[in-house]
């Protein structure tokens, strides 16, 4: 496989992943000391050690720095448990068994596709087809690559191509436990492991009722309900295990099985992806799925095995429940645990929550209500067994005891897309002016946030700390010709805010520098925020701002020069620059809220929340700077 040059910016994960024992090569440094990028996925492998956890081949490529980017070279294919695949997005960077960074792949506009069977194809390089141009993102094994892809036609005349395992990994439920069960057991056994019996026989008109097993999560309920009541979904889910068994063959050891995964519901759907465009931007290779819409249908009532949601507690003197059950594992800040598929978890062991990549529900969410019993049958027994003193966890089915292996519950953090119809859209003057206006508003209206702002000033090296409106910006310098070697045209053009008719850069992009003073805090708070390009309707860029403190104002101009020199190579993504700040630095999002009174208010509050301690309830501020 030929080397491949990567010049996407690297971004730091807010929380590093846990360590995977499968990636820690004992007794050799051949793989251990290098950085590796997830390039794709291979086949599923039968696990002969812990049979309740099928494994997946993850294709990693070694990274070597070169010319402001990286060369992806030799291949390494460890096997990780199927339920953990969500922690291995394509583009994530791994070293010593854990991931702290990933490459920021381009975000595409949301796609509307059709999940009806006649409206998509399943294709593979190994079948003589070409899902996408091989030079765009070379598959691990070139034309012999056996991985399958979903191909959806687009109104542009092009197509949206997605690896089948990425679709399975992101669109088949929220929990790794759901996908583990689908790939481990025949359907007759799977029903028992997915659904608990519903005690009463009450039928609710136009409502699907489900009761999930306790190791599944509430966000699994939509696919669980369709699996129980929708014959198309039932048939689709039933077909996964036989496909795997046929793929494994009768050999010893079994062959890798390459799944042909298809959508589990029919009709129009919306997908949000990151990846690479091709065919003159008419087509797109979706390497990471960020969100998907849910199928329309009747409402769903969800219940849970051992549900403790009641309208009225059980009377005094009732029998107790849950006594002696193990406590959940408490994770300290930045604490890292070992995850393994070599062993199954012990019975009666504590559970470690492992949250993975965020997943966004696009469009109107399904109508789902939680079942509440009118009155509890048992009183909760508060006594709990302390969790075992272990650092190793597994996502398999419990088996045996005394191995020192806890249970890992691996699932995506799910959120609803923020529909603009939930609140009147505030008139925006652009992200930078909105942020400035919001800080002025918060200064003039104390009490809205927990801190009192005493001064809001903009700054340039030529014009220091001015409260006058409007704010001026610091220009991002263009690249000297000698500095452009190895840079892509997109990187060299990034420094420009707009272009002339011939496509030549016209106006340099700017950066807003703010100084915010807060009562009770001797150190000012500074903000860097990059100017966004815009079309006739709205801004077309999305950047995070940086909020920081410095030991002295005298260090600011030097940090401005350093920051604007390096941020242009990163095309506005500041993650890797935070550690070079001479003080404390954090990123903040430009989010919005239905509660904000002026555009930019939520973003301003986000920035202060990142850097300032919250006032204590007794009126004294915790951690005030002296």
pLDDT in the model for residue 95: 86
Query: What is the rounded average pLDDT of the residues 610-625?
Result: 57
Please tell me the predicted confidence (pLDDT) of residue 125.
92
From 91, 152, 97, 95, select the one nearest 121 (Cα to Cα).
152
List pLDDT tens digits, range 26-44. Answer: 333 455 568 899 999 999 9
Cis peptide before 77 (omega within 30 of 0): no
Structure confidence at residue 275 (pLDDT): 94
The 10s digit of each residue's pLDDT in 225-280 is 999 999 999 999 999 999 998 988 887 788 899 999 999 999 999 999 999 999 98
Kindly report the three-state secondary structure assignment for every residue of 210-271: EEECCCCCHHHHHHHHHHHHCHHHHHHHHCHHHHHHHHHCCCCCCCCECCCCCCCCCCEEEE
List of E strands, 134-174 = 149-153, 159-163
What local confidence, expressed as pLDDT, does residue 326 receive? 58
Quote the CA–CA distance of 446 and 435 in Å, as a whole number: 17
pLDDT at 335: 59
DSSP annotation string for 420-475: GGGSPPPP-S-HHHHHHHHHHHHHHSTTSSSS-EEEEEE--SSS-SB-PSSPP-EE
- pLDDT attached to residue 90: 95
Of 111, 113, 109, 123, nearest to 266 by C-alpha is: 113
The lowest-confidence range among 114-128, 289-303, 408-422, 441-455 is 408-422
* pLDDT at residue 538, as a whole number: 72
Helix (H) or strand (E) holding 486: none
Give, in order, the Cα–Cα distances in Å from 262 to each of 112, 116, 150, 183, 240.
16, 10, 7, 14, 10
Cα(396)–Cα(342) distance, rounded to whole angstroms? 10
Per-residue confidence (pLDDT) for residue 487, from 0 to 100: 84
Q: Is the predicted pLDDT of residue 165 greater than 80, yes or no?
A: yes
- Residue 418 banded pLDDT, cuts 50, 70, 90: low
Q: What does the pLDDT average to over 600-616?
A: 87
**SS3 of residue 574 by DSSP:** coil
Query: Can you give the residue ranges of every domain in the chain?
Result: 4-103, 111-301, 425-611
Q: Is 127 exposed, middle or buried (0-12, 13-18, 19+ CB in 10 A)?
A: exposed
**Residue 324 reports pLDDT greater than 50:** no
CA distance 325 to 151: 47
pLDDT of 423 over the 90 cut? no
Residue-level pLDDT at 383: 47
Tokens of 153: 């036609």
Mean pLDDT of 294-308: 87
Mean pLDDT, the chain, rounded, equals: 82
Q: In the predicted model, what is the mean pLDDT of residues 539-546?
A: 87
**C-alpha to C-alpha distance for 242 and 226, rounded to whole angstroms:** 20
Residue with tokens 């094994």: 141
Question: Quick one: average pLDDT of 481-504?
Answer: 82
Of 26, 89, 12, 73, which is closest to residue 356 (Cα–Cα)?
89
Lowest mean pLDDT, pick from 219-233, 325-339, 393-407? 325-339
| 333: three-class secondary structure by DSSP | coil
Question: Is the model's pTM score more than 0.85?
Answer: no
Band of pLDDT at residue 307, cut at 50, 70 and 90: low
pLDDT band at 530 (very low <50, low <70, confident <90, very high): very high
Spatial distance between the Cα atoms of 6 and 70, rounded to a whole number of angstroms: 5
What is the band of 620 on the pLDDT scale with cuts at 50, 70, 90?
very low
Please calculate the CA angle 515-520-523 and round it to the nearest 5 degrees: 40
CA–CA distance, 232 with 250 (Å, rounded to integer): 30
Q: Considering only CA atoms, which of 169, 189, 194 is closest in space to residue 241?
A: 189
In this model, does residue 557 exceed pLDDT 80? yes
Band (pLDDT 50/70/90 cuts) for residue 514 is: very high
């Amino acid at each position: 496989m030929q080397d491949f040059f990567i010049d996407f910016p690297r971004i730091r994960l807010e929380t590093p992943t846990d360590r995977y024992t499968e990636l820690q090569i004992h007794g050799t440094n051949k793989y251990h000391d290098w950085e590796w990028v997830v390039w794709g996925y291979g086949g599923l492998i039968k696990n002969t050690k812990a049979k309740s956890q099928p494994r997946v081949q993850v294709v990693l490529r070694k990274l070597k720095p070169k010319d402001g980017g990286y060369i992806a070279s030799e291949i390494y294919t460890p096997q990780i448990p199927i339920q953990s695949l969500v922690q291995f997005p394509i583009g994530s960077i791994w070293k010593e068994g854990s991931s702290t960074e990933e490459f920021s792949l381009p975000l595409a506009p949301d796609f509307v596709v059709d999940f009806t069977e006649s409206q998509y194809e399943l294709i593979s390089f190994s079948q003589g087809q070409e899902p996408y141009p091989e030079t765009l993102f070379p598959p691990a094994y070139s034309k012999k690559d056996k991985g399958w892809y979903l191909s959806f036609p687009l109104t542009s005349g092009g197509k949206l191509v997605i690896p089948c395992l990425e679709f399975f990994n992101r669109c088949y439920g929220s929990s790794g436990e759901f996908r583990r069960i689908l790939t481990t057991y025949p359907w007759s056994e799977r029903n028992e492991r997915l659904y608990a019996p519903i005690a009463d026989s009450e039928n609710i008109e136009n409502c699907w009722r489900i009761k999930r097993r306790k190791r599944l999560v509430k966000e699994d309920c939509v696919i669980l309900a369709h699996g129980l009541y929708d014959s198309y979904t039932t048939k689709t889910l039933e077909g996964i295990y036989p496909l795997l068994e046929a793929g494994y063959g009768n050999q010893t050891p079994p062959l890798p099985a390459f799944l042909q995964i298809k959508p589990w519901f029919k009709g129009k759907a919306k997908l949000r992806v990151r990846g690479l465009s091709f065919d003159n931007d008419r087509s797109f290779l979706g390497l990471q799925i960020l969100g998907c819409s849910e199928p329309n249908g009747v409402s769903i009532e969800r219940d849970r095995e051992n549900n403790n949601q009641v309208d009225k507690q059980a009377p005094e003197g009732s029998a107790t429940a849950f006594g002696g059950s193990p406590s959940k594992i408490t994770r300290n800040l930045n604490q890292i645990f070992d995850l393994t598929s070599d062993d199954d978890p012990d019975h009666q062991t504590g559970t470690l929550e492992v949250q993975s990549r965020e997943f966004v529900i696009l469009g109107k969410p399904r109508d789902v209500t939680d079942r509440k019993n009118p009155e509890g049958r048992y009183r909760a027994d508060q006594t709990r067994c302390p969790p075992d003193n272990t650092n190793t966890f597994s996502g398999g089915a419990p088996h045996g005891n005394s191995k020192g292996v806890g249970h890992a519950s691996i699932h995506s953090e799910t959120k609803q897309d923020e529909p603009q119809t939930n609140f009147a859209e505030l008139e925006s003057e652009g992200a930078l002016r909105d942020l400035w206006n919001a800080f002025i508003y918060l200064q003039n209206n104390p009490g809205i946030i927990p801190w009192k702002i005493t001064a809001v000033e903009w700054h340039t090296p030529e014009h220091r700390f001015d409260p006058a409106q409007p704010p001026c910006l610091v220009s991002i310098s263009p690249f000297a010709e000698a500095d452009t070697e190895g840079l892509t045209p997109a990187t060299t053009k990034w420094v420009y805010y707009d272009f002339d008719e011939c496509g030549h850069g016209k106006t340099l992009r700017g950066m807003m520098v703010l100084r915010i003073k807060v009562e009770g805090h001797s150190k000012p708070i500074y903000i860097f925020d990059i100017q966004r390009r815009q079309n006739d309707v709205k801004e077309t860029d999305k950047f995070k701002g940086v909020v920081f403190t410095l030991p002295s104002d005298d260090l600011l101009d030097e940090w401005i020069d350093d920051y604007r020199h390096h941020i242009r190579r990163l095309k506005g993504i500041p993650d890797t620059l935070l550690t070079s700040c001479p003080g404390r630095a954090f990123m903040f999002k430009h989010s919005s809220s239905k509660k904000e009174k002026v555009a930019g208010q939520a973003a301003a509050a986000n920035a202060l929340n990142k850097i300032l301690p919250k006032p204590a309830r007794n009126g004294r501020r915790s951690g005030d700077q002296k």
